[in-house]
Structure formats: C-alpha cells, structure tokens
Amino acid sequence: MSAPNPALTKLLATDGLLEEDERDLAAVVRRFGDEKLRPHLAEWFEAGTVPARELAPELGKLGLLGMHLDGYGCAGSTATQYGLACLELEAADSGIRSLMSVQGSLAMTAIHKFGSEEQKQEWLPRMAAGEALGCFGLTEPDFGSDPAGMRTRARRDGDDWVLNGSKMWITNGPVADVAVVWAQTDDPSTSSGRGKIRGFVVPTDTPGFEATEIEHKLSLRASITGSLAFTDLRLPGDAVLPEVAGLRGPLSCLSEARFGILFGAMGAARECLEIALAYAESRKVFDKSLSGYQITQTKLADMAVELMKGTLLAIHLGRRKDAGAITNEQVSVGKLNNCREAIKIARECRTILAANGITLDYPVMRHANNLESVMTYEGTSEVHQLIIGQALTGESAFR
C-alpha cells in the first residue's frame, strides 16, 4: 500500500494550485483506491481480470463515470476535477482508470456529444450510475493509427443499417452492454462509393454481435480487453449517432480520453516514486539505507523533477481546458510527455526495488507494464510527436 510521502508532497507543492473541492475529491478517490482497489490489484493483475461489473456501480456512486458531462445523471465536473480523479485512480492501476476513461470519455462522451435525445435518455443515466457498461469500437486489427482505413462497413438496407467487420483492443468489450461502433458507410453518389464514417449505438445483445476476450496480455491485466465481430448485424435506422459524420467524431472523443490519461499517467508515476522512496529508506545496503547513497538520490531527484514537471503540465492543461482554450496539440504535448516520463519513472523505481521490484508484492513493475499500453492507446507517442510536429511546421508527416 502506498502512503503519501510528506517530503515529496512538500516538494511538489501542487496542492496550492488546487481548489479545496479539487483536493477533497482527490483525497476521496485516493481513499477509495486504498480501501477498494489496492488490496486486490495484485490478485486481479495476476488473474488477468477485474470485476468490472462490480466496480462500475461503485465508481458510479462516487460520481466518476462521465463526470465531466452535464445532465443525464452525470456530475458536471470541471476538466481539472475529472483529471484529478483519473490521476488518483491510475495511481492504483491504469486498468481501473481505463475502465473509467472508456466509459466516460469515450462511450458516454460519444453519445452525449453526438447522440439523439432518445439515445442519451436510454443510455447515459444508467452508464453514469455504472449499471450499464459501454465500450468504444474504433481500432481494428489492421488499422490503429490510421483509422480512416477501417474495414468495418455499415450498409443501408431500407431504413435499417447492417454492420459487418471487426474491432480490436476494445477495453470493456466483453463486459459491455452497449458498444459505440464506428463504421465506414457506403455512398454510391461518390466516385469511390464510400460515404462518411458514422457512429452507431449497438446494444451488445443484438444478433450478429460477438465479443471475444483478448488473453495473454502482459500489460493492463486488471482490465478486460476484447475484440468485437459484427456479422450481418442489423440495426434500426435510429441507431446511428445523428450529430456527426466523419473521423472528427471518434477523434474528438479520443482527445477527451487523452486528456484524462495525461493526468492519470502522473498518478502511476507518483505511486511508483512513493513506493521507491519508502523502500529506499527501509532497505539497508552495507549497513546503511539505500536512500543514503548518491546514486539512489540521483535517481530519486531526477524522478521527482519529472513528476513535478508532468503534474504541473497536467494542471496547466486542466486550467486551459476549463477556460475553453485547450488545443488538440496541447493535449498531445501532455499525453506524450506524461506517458513517456511515467514509464521511465516506473522503470527507474524498479531498479531501486531491485529483485523485489519484479514481483506483484510492489506495484512498480505492474505500473511499468501498464504504461506500455497507456503510451500506445489513444494515440501512440509517435502519433503525438507528429501532431506536435505538424503544429510547429505546418507540414503533415503522417504518411
């Protein structure tokens, strides 16, 4: 179990940048993590699963699911408050934060932003309460960073839509009640015959929907990941998200999730550093504390510097977002830096814990492994470098 390290807290001094309600929220989520998550995480990670359906109502009661959305049972928080909740959940485990992100930032945000009133009424209150779980199907087996190439097709058949195709790396997929699925539509009036990419609200009990759990993951093991397959899956005409067409739809949801991650990653980093500090103090090497050696202090100092920079960046971007002024490029700066530095911190902490660091008795290698996924999903580090590069040069170098 981690405990706040007073010296680290004093050095970071980020509390002074937060409002009282923001600090209170963070404290509640941290305590929830201490009591409901941390005691079980090693076991869940080892078993390669998480009781998502039991945890979701608890996260719902806390008001964390879709918390930054307004109305429909959602809490209507600020972006910074949402970010801090992500940070504290990810301090426990990236898989738990993923559960919250996919539910709130991806599935619920898609319905909230682009759904019809009926779709919102049907799904959002239950999803906010954690009674219904959602997933978000964009990535495909052969199309990750280039979603425009997706092969999943939605064909019009009278008033109905018929879906065929597959999605991969879908968090919550096998336990979801509803999937927001993005698919290529047909349009015979265009020269390619292709229309816009559209989003569909798909109840997972629709005939033709199949979810298969992805096993043998070495990362995000306390998270349920699946592949989705759609075989002549027939949907009524009103299953389409009416308010958006084109990749702008899913990409704007991803930007929301990326924002949560840039806070969350610093939670994972803080947890590792707190553990490493406590370990280095108690571990005796040649009759003195490991923390008394210059080489350890060099590591600790460098990690604290990066943790402080990343946390300040997160709060800065939170304030920008709350002011309505954040850009996608700035979110990319945060996601790129904070994931990259968090995984470095987790790995460096592992060296301080030495052999003990490789076990599930301590969370550092679990965090390091999780962060491999966190660096990859919602835009790989390379994609974010290209987004920032384009912003700086005006030249697109994606392809």
Partner 1 sequence: MNIVVCVKYVPDAQADRTFSQDNTTDRTNVDGLLSELDEYAVEEALKLAEAGEGEVTVVTVGPDGAAEAIKKALQMGADKGVHVLDDAIHGSDAPATSLVLAEAVKKAAGGSPELVLMGLASTDGTMSVVPAMLAERLGLPQITQLSSLEIADGKVTGRRDSDAASDTLEAPLPAVVSVTDQINEPRYPSFKGIMAAKKKPVETWSLADLGVDAGQVGLESAWTKVESFTARPPREQGEIVTDEGDGGTKLAEFLAKAKLI
**Distance (Å, rounded) from C-alpha 276 to C-alpha 270?**
10
- Residue 75 or 303: the one with the smaller Cβ distance to partner 1 is 75
- Residue 81 or 103: the one with the smaller Cβ distance to partner 1 is 81
- Annotated catalytic residue within 329, 378, 382, 395: 378
Q: Is 349 within 8 Å of 275 (Cβ atoms)? A: yes
58 is catalytic: no
Q: Could you tell me the smallest distance in angstroms from the CB atom of residue 89 to partner 1?
A: 13
- Residue 19 or 215: the one with the smaller Cβ distance to partner 1 is 19
- Residue 5 or 152: the one with the smaller Cβ distance to partner 1 is 5
Contacts of 124 (CB under 8 A, 6+ apart): 66, 69, 71, 72, 73, 74, 108, 111, 112
Q: Is 28 within 8 Å of 62 (Cβ atoms)? A: yes
**Distance (Å, rounded) from C-alpha 390 to C-alpha 384?**
10
**Buried b or exposed e, range 163-175, using 16+ CB within 10 angstroms:** bbbbbbbbbbbbb
Q: Could you tell me the smallest distance in angstroms from the CB atom of residue 8 to partner 1?
A: 16
Q: Could you tell me the smallest distance in angstroms from the CB atom of residue 295 to partner 1?
A: 26
**Distance (Å, rounded) from C-alpha 228 to C-alpha 239?**
18
What are the C-alpha distances in Å from 111 to residues 139, 181, 200? Answer: 18, 11, 9
Residue with tokens 């170098």: 397
Q: Could you tell me the smallest distance in angstroms from the CB atom of residue 20 to partner 1?
A: 8
- Residue 66 or 115: the one with the smaller Cβ distance to partner 1 is 66
Structure tokens at 255: 């930007």
Q: Is 199 within 8 Å of 182 (Cβ atoms)? A: yes
Structure tokens at 85: 């909740």
Q: Could you tell me the smallest distance in angstroms from the CB atom of residue 346 to partner 1?
A: 25
- Residue 21 or 118: the one with the smaller Cβ distance to partner 1 is 21
Q: Could you tell me the smallest distance in angstroms from the CB atom of residue 131 to partner 1?
A: 15
**Distance (Å, rounded) from C-alpha 343 to C-alpha 266?**
10
**Distance (Å, rounded) from C-alpha 276 to C-alpha 201?**
44
Contacts of 34 (CB under 8 A, 6+ apart): 1, 2
Q: Provide the phi-psi class of 50: left if phi over 0, else alpha when psi is between -120 and 50, else beta.
A: beta
Where on the chain is the footprint of partner 1 (CB under 8 A)?
3, 21, 24-25, 28, 31-32, 61-64, 67, 75, 77, 81, 85
Residue 157 CB coordination number (10 Å): 12
End-to-end CA distance of the chain: 45
**Distance (Å, rounded) from C-alpha 228 to C-alpha 222?**
19
Count of residues making up the chain: 399
Q: Could you tell me the smallest distance in angstroms from the CB atom of residue 62 to partner 1?
A: 5
- Residue 104 or 357: the one with the smaller Cβ distance to partner 1 is 104
- Residue 32 or 182: the one with the smaller Cβ distance to partner 1 is 32
Q: Is 311 within 8 Å of 90 (Cβ atoms)? A: no
Q: Could you tell me the smallest distance in angstroms from the CB atom of residue 31 to partner 1?
A: 7
Catalytic residues: 378
